[in-house]
Amino acid sequence: MTQFIDRRLNPKGRSLGNRSRFIRRARAAIKKAVDDSVRSRNIVDVDQGEHVAIPASDIHEPSFHNADQGGHRDHVLPGNKTYRAGDRIDKPPQGGGAGGREGAPDGEAEDEFLFALSRDEFLDLFFEDLALPDLVKRSLKSTDIMRPRRAGLSVTGAPANLSVMRTMRNAIGRRVGLRRPANREVEDLRGHIASLEAAPHKDTHDSDELAKLRARLDHLVARQKRVPFLDPVDVRYRHFEMKPEPTANAVMFCLMDVSASMGQREKDLAKRFFVLLHLFLKRRYEKVDLVFIRHTHQASEVDEQTFFYSTESGGTVVSSALVEMQRVISERYPAGDWNIYAAQASDGENYSGDSAHCAELLNGEIMNLCQYFAYVEIIGEAEAKILTNPASGTELWRAYLGVSGKWPNFALKRIAHRSEIYPVFRELFSTAPETSDA
């Protein structure tokens, strides 16, 4: 997670709570700027860094000031050589903003604050509140992710792992056990000897006492040297061991219609959606398998390169993709061991009567196996103006609406323009995804 660090000193009269609220407000402004920037850039460029700006007003810290009586001032401040009491001051001319940008109406302005976010910082903010819903640990068989875990203390290790508290605790216990003279005791004895030596008149008694004190001092210093303040035997290091961490096995099925009814525009929008999904999964999860399935009148599992760049076309039988998904699940991803997710993109065109078969496949087995199924239908911009009723649409859309009514883990959305890809993606994969059409 990206962290914002405010290194400015806490000003007088400002509490830590006020500063914390200011940092949260600045972070929210940057998060909003990141979200807005996605709408104006290509989805394939999402994983690049970004320069985002937030208005100066969004990070202004409110403060209390001493107010004059009313809004009128009839006094002249000391040091003024231009105006006298009673002079009327003209309003500043328009333009001439403070930062060289477009001038403000009142002649004063402030530049926006510009932040340069690295790739990691940008992606952390971009996917901050997104997650695969209902991810559970169905199986602990694959424990091949090794992570360092604290495993007590060690007498050897790297300087960066030095445990200062435990080292000093051991040193204090050893010094107390061996009765090492304290530094304060030695310094007090030296001060007493110095005061006696500085006395103007010394008798035999003082000389004998000085001799005893010097012998006592030599004895204490010798004991201090024999019992050092910090000994190598006291040093302790934090010890870490690499231990396997149980992980939730998850697989995402990406189903895309590449038939002749999907024109270049529709395929481009579908690919943009899957590019965003691919980047999200790779960024947020270490172990998520991706299965790419393309379909025309028949479906096949393909690799990532073929899925995004192949130019294959043909007729449309949507159920073929669902049948291929069932085959892959039965062969490689048993539902008892894997969290199964699916995302499907299509223009809604389908072979007559096949939409009902798709609903049967989903209701019969697939939705019992899936943690979550998201369907995105690519429609035309003119069609989007007509389809204002969520219940209206293609035969496939209406069939999938029936499925969504039976299964709360089934969601479907429409996309008509590439600016809608990111908002729809957030609705589908937010921490509390909506499961009805918007």
Decide if 273 contacts 42 (C-beta within 8 A): no
**Do 315 and 414 belong to one domain?**
yes
For the chain, give percent helix, strand, coil, nearest 5. Answer: 40, 15, 40
**Do 406 and 271 belong to one domain?**
yes
Is residue 267 a part of any domain in this protein? yes
Is residue 308 a part of any domain in this protein? yes
Decide if 320 contacts 265 (C-beta within 8 A): no
Task: Please give the helix or strand (H or E) that residue 25 lies within, else none.
Answer: helix 16-39
Query: What residues of the chain score a pLDDT lower than 50?
Result: 43-44, 97-109, 137-143, 433-438
Per-residue confidence (pLDDT) for residue 43, from 0 to 100: 47
**Do 295 and 343 belong to one domain?**
yes
Is residue 82 a part of any domain in this protein? no
**Do 260 and 217 belong to one domain?**
no
DSSP category for residue 60: P
Mean of the per-residue pLDDT values for the chain? 76
**Do 354 and 386 belong to one domain?**
yes
Per-residue confidence (pLDDT) for residue 304, from 0 to 100: 84
Exposure letters 387-408 (e unless 16+ CB within 10 A, then b): beeeeebbbbbebbbebbeebe
Task: Answer with the one of 238, 264, 289 that is the final residue of a domain.
Answer: 238
DSSP letters, 370-432, are EEEEEEEEE--HHHHHH--STT-S-HHHHHHHHHHHH-TTEEEEEE-SGGGHHHHHHHHHBSS
Task: Answer with the one of 238, 271, 298 that is the final residue of a domain.
Answer: 238
Per-residue confidence (pLDDT) for residue 144, from 0 to 100: 56
Is residue 88 a part of any domain in this protein? no
**Do 286 and 391 belong to one domain?**
yes
**Do 290 and 174 belong to one domain?**
no
What predicted TM-score, i.e. pTM, was given to this entire model?
Answer: 0.54
Q: Give CA angle at 198 (195, 200), nearest 5°.
A: 125
**Do 291 and 404 belong to one domain?**
yes
**Do 227 and 262 belong to one domain?**
no
**Do 53 and 188 belong to one domain?**
no
Domain tally, the chain? 3
Per-residue confidence (pLDDT) for residue 142, from 0 to 100: 45
Q: Give CA angle at 325 (250, 278), nearest 5°.
A: 50
Exposure letters 293-316 (e unless 16+ CB within 10 A, then b): bbbbeebebbeeeebbeeeeeeeb
**Do 219 and 255 belong to one domain?**
no
Q: Could you tell me the residue range of the domain that residue 47 belongs to?
A: 13-62+110-126
